[in-house]
Structure 1
Amino acid sequence: MPVGANGKVSVSPYLGAVLLSGKGRTWHTPDGELVPLKSITWRARANVRDHDGRTRRVEAWGRSAAAAERRLQDKLTVRKRSASTTITAETCLEVLADYWLRTKVDNGKLAVNTRQRYRYTTEGYVVPGLGGLRLRECTVARLERWIADEAAEHPANARLSLTCLKGMFDVAVREDAITANPARSVTPVPATAAEDVRALSVPEVVELRAALAGDRKATAADLGDLVDLMLATGCRIGEALSLRWHETDTAEHVVYLTGTVVREKGVGLFRQDTTKGKKPRGLLIPEFAVQMLERRSTAVPDNELDLVFPTVHGGLREVTTVEAQWRKFRERHAEWTWITPHTFRKSVGTAVERGADIEAAAKQLGHARSAVTAKHYVAAPDLGPDHRAILEKFGRSH
């Protein structure tokens, strides 16, 4: 027998310790004495090969043959679970998905937003699409077809779904439920072509800051000051909202980005004490941002969380709330409809790359690889580099 499997179940009638013989509703002792049905107890028995490789006999009793067999099956199920076979080849994918989310995603070291994206994708796409398949039925071909169909409609979701499937099947391999991870043989979903990066020019920034300063609702929502901080650092909006006064040093022109604001289902809104890049970073800020912080230090009431941008009640502000306030500002100023809070990060990346180089821009934005900065955060120049002196030699006459 395979490890964890059981042999054929046998069910026998007894009167006390005496094995009875007969069939149907007629049973008697070895001496031929007829035994009433209500006096009979039934024993169900099967051999099971435990996970140490040894075969043992397991039995259960009941007032009927069916009851004894049910109790035996319950004991066998408990025995298999306690022997650590949480996941087997017969397990449905939806069970594996739940196990993976609970044991590897929720209890892992992933950022809160990453955990939530994995759960949303798994529960919203993977389980509805594949959850009823047993693991042995999850062939490369089946997964390939499903991922391809998803990619045709939602390429980003298909890409993340494949990432989740790889994680799930890695668990199944470690549990000895399957011998290889089928998701790792599925054709990767190609990345969608990156849209052209659009960044604010210096004249546009001047004009936008003036518009923010002259908008009463924007001023009440601190949008101008938030934009100044993002333009001075290239930080994300959640990082700006989590900035605390003790992480600023206006005398030295420095702010330290150490966390971000997130909302987690079942937990609520809180300050996550790590940034998306995991590493805190200190950034030198220009004079206009220093002046903004010094002004706020006297204007903003003290709050228990020591926040630079608290709510009116001194608590954390929601990223989604600020994004909604920004959309309202754009509705009032149609010329800025193309700008999102992330545009300021792109504008910083572009400005630093033009003034220094791509490596400096990557460090400013907290990227581990400059390729990410170049692809997503630096606008292409309108005019190529001036290499006329180099190329002029092609036009020389003999």
Structure 2
Amino acid sequence: MTTEQWLRLWLATLVHLRGTTLCSYRANVETYLIPSLGGVLVRELTAGRIQAMLADLIRNGGVSGQPLRPGTLRHVHATLRAALNSAVRHGLLPANPAWRVHVPSGRRPHAVVWTTPRIAQWQATGKRPPVAVWTAGQTRTFLDHIRDHPLYPLFHLIALFGLRRGEAAGLRWCDIDLEHGLLTISRQIRQYGRHLEIGKPKSEASNRVISLDGATIALLRQYREYTAGDVDPASEEFIFTTRSGGLLTPQHLTHLFRALNDESGLPPIRLHDLRHGAGSLSLAAGNDLKTVQAMLGHSSIVLTADTYVSVLPDLACRAAEATIHHVLAAAKVTGARLRGTTAAAA
């Protein structure tokens, strides 16, 4: 059996996976694995052949001709590793050669803040950071700019509470307790191709309850009166829909946000970066990492600290001022003690 034949057979057996995961596996198989290894017999796959494939992808890039990012390379390798694990279980291989392959680790890009110098550089060169977030003032400018947009409350929730786009699109009226100011995240809308899937959130930690502030509660009350009237609080109707009442797709929200970002005149960020920014703003407001972790629905506080939370300029300035104040205060105490000791000795 060739590697191509096995990969296609393996894909056909993955009926238990989420649609988005299966779509990712299929894309990696068709785009990278079959063109590189499809003609090789499964029993002749070695760590050396797989390593050579990864080296070629690093050197020559993928179908676009652009070098693959370390994250994409890891996903391609993980897909092949999963397929060959199944081949081992079916007796086609004695061991999985993909386990003995070195894959460049790479690092997640850290979110950087759109400071004035960074904006000037972007305007001069057209180059933008992979992950960037707005300052508190820029976020306020954006929200003010879209204040009259029908989906303003949705972007408000993403910008201030870090909802994922699928979580925001999947919110129902029964998920919001306006009396007690609580928002429950228990499902999301996923999209792969043209297919939509309503299911559980990304992970167990993503099932969470978020406390809402008074302004957000008032905003959602007003939105309910305007769009749904006297809707039953236990209603499973979606809060945010298209103008015709249909489901909002994650891709539609991404395209809409990009257009609104352009209209606002603010430096560009991705819709997911609005979620990054929510973590940064919460940290800058004085909340601890554990609180931010719970709000974003992360399973690990390390992920929150290392990937999603960027330190805003005003927070960094406060930290610097606090440090120098602490050092100078300690120096004064030490100096006073030394002068007292010297005087006593005299």
So what's the TM-score if we normalise by structure 2?
Answer: 0.78
- Counterpart amino acid of 2:83? M
**Residue 305 of structure 2 corresponds to residue 357 of structure 1:** no
Secondary structure (helix, strand or coil) at the match of 2:197 reads strand
Question: 1:95: which partner in 2?
Answer: 5
- Counterpart amino acid of 2:290? E
* CA deviation after TM superposition for structure 1 residue 101, in Å: 1.6
1:123-148 Cα offsets, whole Å, 9 max, x none, are 21111111111112211111001112
Question: 1:61: which partner in 2?
Answer: none
* CA deviation after TM superposition for structure 1 residue 389, in Å: 5.4
Q: Is the CA contact 1:121–1:157 (under 8 Å) kept in the aligned structure 2?
A: no
**Residue 152 of structure 2 corresponds to residue 211 of structure 1:** no
- Counterpart amino acid of 1:168? A
* CA deviation after TM superposition for structure 1 residue 189, in Å: 2.3
Q: Is the CA contact 1:353–1:361 (under 8 Å) kept in the aligned structure 2?
A: yes
* CA deviation after TM superposition for structure 1 residue 193, in Å: 5.2
Higher RCO by CA contacts (8 Å cutoff, separation 6 or greater): 2
**Residue 186 of structure 2 corresponds to residue 271 of structure 1:** no
- Counterpart amino acid of 2:201? T
Mapped partners of 1:378, 1:158: distance in 2 = 25
Q: Is the CA contact 1:197–1:346 (under 8 Å) kept in the aligned structure 2?
A: no
1:94-124 Cα offsets, whole Å, 9 max, x none, are 1221222222xx323x433222111111121
**Residue 252 of structure 2 corresponds to residue 325 of structure 1:** no
Question: 1:342: which partner in 2?
Answer: 272
Question: 2:86: which partner in 1?
Answer: 171
Mapped partners of 2:160, 2:110: distance in 1 = 25
- Counterpart amino acid of 2:68? H
- Counterpart amino acid of 1:125? Y
Structure (1 or 2) with the greater strand fraction: 1
Secondary structure (helix, strand or coil) at the match of 2:163 reads coil
Question: 1:131: which partner in 2?
Answer: 38
Mapped partners of 2:10, 2:327: distance in 1 = 59
Q: 1:254 to 1:232 in 2, by over 3 A?
A: farther
**Residue 95 of structure 2 corresponds to residue 180 of structure 1:** yes
Secondary structure (helix, strand or coil) at the match of 1:270 reads strand
Which blocks of at least 5 consecutive residues in structure 2 are unaligned? 60-66, 114-132, 339-346
1:348-388 Cα offsets, whole Å, 9 max, x none, are 21123331222221111000011211222111343344233
- Counterpart amino acid of 2:88? V
Secondary structure (helix, strand or coil) at the match of 2:112 reads coil
**Residue 105 of structure 2 corresponds to residue 154 of structure 1:** no
Q: 1:356 to 1:333 in 2, by over 3 A?
A: closer
Mapped partners of 1:132, 1:233: distance in 2 = 49
Equivalences for residues 22-171 of structure 1 within 5 A: 91-103=1-13, 106-108=14-16, 110-152=17-59, 153-155=67-69, 156-171=71-86
* CA deviation after TM superposition for structure 1 residue 192, in Å: 4.0
Instruction: Count how many residue pairs are aligned between Structure 1 and Structure 2.
Output: 296
* CA deviation after TM superposition for structure 1 residue 205, in Å: 2.6
Mapped partners of 1:111, 1:287: distance in 2 = 37
Which structure would you say has the larger Rg? 1
Question: 1:244: which partner in 2?
Answer: 172
**Residue 315 of structure 2 corresponds to residue 388 of structure 1:** no
Mapped partners of 2:87, 2:187: distance in 1 = 35
